[in-house]
Amino acid sequence: MTEELITCDLASSSSSGDSEESLNCVKTGGMDCEEPIFSALSGDVKQQAGDATSPTAGTTSDTESGIFSVERELCVAHESELEWFCGTEQKLICCHCATVGPCQGHTVTPLATRVTAVRNELVDVCEKIQLQALRIEKFINQTLTAKEQKLQTAASRARERVLAQVSAAREALEEEEQRLLEEVQREEERVEQCLLTQRAHWSQALASLSQTRSHLVHTLTDMQDAQLVTSVQKIAERVEAAEGVGEPCDTDQLNLNPGCSDSKLLRGLWATAVLLGPNASGSSSLKFDERTVSPLLSLSDDFCTLTFLHKKARQSPQYDPARFDCLPNALGSLSMSSGTHSWVVGVGQSAAFKIGVCYSSLERKGSGNEARLGNNSQSWVLSHYDGDYSFCHGGNKVPLQVARKPQKIGLLLDWPSQTLVFYELDSIAVLYSVTHPFSAPLLPACAVADRSITILH
């Protein structure tokens, strides 16, 4: 603990009256005498600076305030009360020891002032410990409990996702189902163990802090003054141990790994069952939204086919804020924010196209990256250009290995699992799949710069 002591030049005198008069010149300063927050603990332990400047005044104030509840010890050498504390030798002394005795010229402080300072420091420490205990208790009762509930919800959703996918191809995927369920179970048990460990650790820390605080409060309220000031080292050790508990913090280890329910095999067969199975049902009402179609494209009468136009055939349509004006883009009419949706796009012999999904907030004007499908954070597309296939999002391209040029590409958006799958119907192969925490409804998005593409029903 920090000590702030004032050096006092005490003049020697032959009489005790002169000694006490000399001690009246001792001034105390630098002490933090503000009222502690824990008024119930501190009581009236602090004295006015004017009352602590002399042994006589200090004694009167001590009696009135009740700081000392027992008779003080006497100095062996001078048979006077030990009313002063020598900071140099860290012991209690009388006024004669300070003026004519062995502690003459040392740094001395009135005992009442020293006791007040120690008590106030203990009050501050107890307050800090209480606040830390409240934070830990809040972490246990709120964060860890919420994490446990979130774990149960996440694990339940993972199970439902696995079971829903496996049910589409039950006979072929029984072993895969069992493997994934066990993986989810292991992951759940891992996170549960982390939560139990965290709960046990911080519960123990909370108990330790409570015990330390109780001991310090007992020391503060019940310990005699002389014993209190001589027990500073032990008190400091307890305070240091309490400060070493640390602060609780949330980590990724307390979350379920969403990849525990992911399976490339299952995803491919699941997409096959949804798109080509006996109960397959596409988005039959899906068409292109005429308002969004770029003037670089023409839209068929059934609103399902986009054709890239050469310069001579282009016209300037009426201005619409929803229309792409500089890029050959168009959006679908179906907004998707729940359930499972699938549709098929016939790409035929087109050598330049993009198909995928985007947020409705995608920029419509200009030719910058904000309006280019796959070049921003608003769109996810499969791109084909000059014989190369790639998945594009946020300006990043993932090259795709395609065995043969697809004529039809299926898209499957499963909102519950936040999964988008690009599927090649003829070869029954997943071209690419992505899982992303979509934050807004999605619209089908297309671009074509060569020939035509068509939504097939």
Q: Tens of pLDDT along 377-394?
A: 999 999 999 889 999 999
Average per-residue pLDDT for the chain? 81
Query: Is 291 a member of any domain?
Result: yes
Q: Which of 241, 242, 1 is nearest to 118 (CA)?
A: 1
Q: What pLDDT is stored for residue 288 in this prediction?
A: 96
Query: Is 129 a member of any domain?
Result: no
Pick from 261, 278, 308: which residue ends a domain? 261
Query: Is 223 a member of any domain?
Result: yes
Q: Which residues 6+ apart lie within 8 Å of 386 measured at CB?
A: 351, 352
Same domain, yes or no: 54 and 157:
no
Estimate the share of the chain in helix, then strand, then coil, as percent rounded to the nearest 5.
40, 20, 40
User: What's the CA gap between 76 and 74, in Å, rounded?
Assistant: 6
Of 9 and 108, the structure prediction assigns the larger pLDDT to: 108
Same domain, yes or no: 252 and 285:
no
Same domain, yes or no: 293 and 409:
yes
Q: Is residue 37's pLDDT more than 80? A: no
Range of the domain at 245: 134-261
Same domain, yes or no: 382 and 234:
no
Question: What is the DSSP code (8-state) at residue 378?
Answer: T
Share of the chain above pLDDT 70, in %: 81
Query: Is 11 a member of any domain?
Result: no
Query: Is 10 a member of any domain?
Result: no
User: What's the CA gap between 398 and 268, in Å, rounded?
Assistant: 19
Same domain, yes or no: 170 and 226:
yes
3-state class of 455 per DSSP?
Answer: strand
Whole-model pTM: value is 0.53
What is the 3-state secondary structure of 261-311?
Answer: HCCHHHHHHHHHHHHHCCCCCCCCCCCECHHHCCCCEEECCCCCEEEECCH
Confidence of residue 1 (pLDDT cuts 50, 70, 90): very low
Write the pLDDT tens digit of every residue in 178-196: 888 899 999 999 999 999 9
User: What's the CA gap between 209 and 130, in Å, rounded?
Assistant: 8
- What would the DSSP string read from start to end of 190-216? HHHHHHHHHHHHHHHHHHHHHHHHHHH
Q: Which residues 6+ apart lie within 8 Å of 362 measured at CB?
A: 331, 370, 371, 373, 376, 378, 379, 445
Q: Which residues 6+ apart lie within 8 Å of 369 measured at CB?
A: 375, 376, 395
Same domain, yes or no: 329 and 391:
yes
Same domain, yes or no: 169 and 49:
no
Pick from 261, 294, 321: which residue ends a domain? 261
Same domain, yes or no: 371 and 298:
yes
Same domain, yes or no: 236 and 268:
no
* Lookup: tokens for 359: 């947020």
CATH number at residue 30: 3.30.160.60
Write the pLDDT tens digit of every residue in 225-284: 888 787 888 888 888 888 887 888 888 888 888 788 878 777 777 777 776 666 665 666
User: What's the CA gap between 192 and 200, in Å, rounded?
Assistant: 12
Confidence of residue 11 (pLDDT cuts 50, 70, 90): very low
Confidence of residue 29 (pLDDT cuts 50, 70, 90): very low
Q: Is residue 109's pLDDT more than 90? A: yes
Same domain, yes or no: 339 and 446:
yes
Same domain, yes or no: 44 and 140:
no
Domain count, the chain: 3
Same domain, yes or no: 446 and 320:
yes
